[in-house]
């Protein structure tokens, strides 16, 4: 079963989204892609997709492929300089030691961004840090020009965001560690031994670092730090877990058509060998800070795909957008055919999530709950975080029943 609105590739493996850019009335989206495979391999390409919104993307080919000294084209970003030139900064890897990448630049050969020309290596792992991992550049403007953050992991289990600066996006200078944390620290949340895709953004007057949490080749969740960022140093005053469940990973920060900060995630566990494809991307989320929390809310593009549902909570087809305002002890169940797809229960600040065939899980629930179902994809969100998982609707329609609180059900197309 393939989702209708979540991005998937017609064939092959996909993982991290990146380089998402709105220009000329449409979104350009790039992603890690292994053609002809349904399992990850180090020979990643950059796939390319376009669409009027992030739920209407269509693949248009491979933008950048291994070769010319690269065995793999891993995660990175795209920026437009003050000179109007567009640049892609990506992680260039070589096998077998692909844990330590190099940061390389490429520029588009055409206005459609369909083909890119590789340039030189602009940054490498600082030798004095004795790193075991180095990858995933994120570039942004700052008062003195441009700064780049790259994820690093040291031999002693310290996760780092390394900082580089440039006046012109051409020559880069290493400036030290912007933020670091030991994998032994667990209060109030564990953040692993490597931050993949560390991205720093200013939100509502606060500095926020969002990243993936990696440890010993195991992919965990997305987490964040909040605090102050001055003179190239991030001073944290809080840490949090953004995602729950075993699906979300690799958040990609981008700016939408209205200039708002947003995230899209890679969602794991979808497709497979029999289907010939694997991996999906989440719906886009708006980012904000509320109190001490980083909050991700489904982007308004999701609501633009709504269509009326029947008054009894039934949806023809297997796509639905559900808004629920629960009270303590309230329950909500989604079924398809004569089988339960998922049930949730609000209890003492937790949303207990039960999917048939899976171990029960939970999500901190703060205020209203939003649930998006798109065939096999389940996404649940509240101000307490996000939960993503694989589900298995068995019929041709969905039925939503809530006991307690108020609920609104919409179909999606």
Q: Do domains 12-299 and 305-412 have the same CATH topology?
A: no
Q: How far is CA 322 from CA 156, 258, 377, 394, 411, in A?
A: 45, 25, 14, 19, 9
- CATH code, residues 305-412: 2.60.120.560
Torsion angle defined by CA atoms of residues 124, 127, 128 and 134, in that order, rounded to the nearest 10 degrees: 50
Query: Within its chain, how far is the Cα of 254 from the centroid?
Result: 10
pLDDT at 413: 87
Nearest to 236 by CA among 223, 224, 220, 250: 224
For the annotated catalytic residues, the residue numbers are 406
pTM for the predicted model, two decimal places: 0.96
- Domain extents in the chain: 12-299, 305-412
Start-to-end Cα distance in the chain:
16
Q: Is 127 helix (H, G, I), strand (E, B) or coil?
A: helix
pLDDT at 257: 96
Residue 124 — φ and ψ, nearest 5°? Answer: -135, 165
d(CA 284, CA 302): 8
d(CA 146, CA 168): 7
pLDDT at 144: 83
32, β-bridge pairs: 46
pLDDT at 263: 97
pLDDT at 309: 83
Mean pLDDT by groups of 10 residues along the chain of 413 residues = 95 98 97 97 98 96 97 98 95 94 97 97 96 98 94 97 97 98 97 98 96 96 97 97 97 97 97 95 98 96 91 91 96 95 96 96 95 98 97 95 95 92
User: Which tokens in the block code for residue 185?
Assistant: 């620290």
Spatial strand order of the sheet with 243-244 comes to 243-244, 385-390, 377-382, 369-374, 319-325, 406-412, 306-307
Please name the residue that has the structure tokens 């991205």: 199
Q: Cis bond leading into 256, ω under 30°?
A: no
Give me the architecture of the 12-299 domain, per CATH.
Answer: 5 Propeller (2.115)
């Amino acid at each position: 079963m393939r989702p209708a609105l979540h991005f998937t590739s017609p064939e092959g493996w996909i993982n991290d989204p990146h380089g998402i850019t709105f220009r000329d009335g449409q979104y350009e989206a790039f992603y890690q892609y292994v053609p002809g495979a349904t399992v990850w391999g180090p020979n990643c390409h950059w796939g390319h997709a376009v669409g009027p919104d992030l739920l209407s993307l269509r693949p248009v080919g491979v933008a950048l492929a291994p070769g010319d000294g690269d065995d793999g084209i891993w995660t990175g970003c795209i920026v437009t300089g003050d000179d109007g030139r567009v640049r892609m900064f990506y992680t260039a890897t070589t096998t077998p030691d692909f844990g330590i990448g190099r940061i390389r630049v490429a520029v588009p050969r055409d206005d459609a961004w369909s083909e890119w020309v590789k340039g030189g290596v602009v940054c490498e792992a600082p030798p004095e840090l004795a790193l075991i991992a180095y990858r995933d550049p994120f570039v942004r403007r700052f008062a003195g020009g441009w700064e780049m953050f790259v994820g690093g992991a040291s031999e002693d289990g310290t996760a780092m965001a390394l900082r580089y600066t440039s006046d012109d996006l051409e020559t880069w200078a290493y400036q030290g560690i912007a933020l670091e944390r030991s994998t032994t620290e667990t209060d109030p949340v564990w953040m692993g031994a490597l931050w993949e895709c560390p991205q720093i953004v200013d939100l509502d007057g606060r500095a926020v670092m969002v990243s993936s949490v990696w440890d010993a080749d195991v992919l965990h969740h997305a987490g964040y730090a909040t605090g102050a960022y001055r003179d190239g140093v991030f001073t944290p005053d809080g840490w949090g877990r953004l995602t729950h469940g075993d699906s979300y990973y690799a958040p990609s920060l981008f700016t939408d058509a209205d200039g708002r900060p947003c995230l899209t995630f890679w969602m794991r566990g979808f497709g497979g060998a029999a289907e010939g494809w694997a991996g999906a991307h989440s719906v886009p989320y708006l980012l904000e800070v509320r109190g001490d929390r980083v909050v991700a809310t489904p982007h308004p593009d999701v609501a633009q795909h709504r269509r009326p549902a029947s008054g009894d909570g039934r949806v023809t087809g297997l796509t639905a957008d559900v808004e629920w305002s629960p009270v303590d002890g309230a329950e909500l169940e989604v079924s398809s055919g004569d089988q339960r797809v998922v049930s949730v229960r609000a209890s003492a600040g937790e949303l207990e999530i039960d999917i048939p065939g899976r171990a029960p899980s939970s999500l901190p629930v703060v205020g209203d709950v939003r649930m998006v179902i798109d065939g096999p994809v389940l996404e649940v969100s509240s101000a307490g975080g996000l939960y993503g998982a694989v589900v298995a609707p068995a019929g041709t329609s969905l039925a939503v029943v809530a006991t307690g609180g108020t609920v609104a059900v919409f179909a999606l197309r």
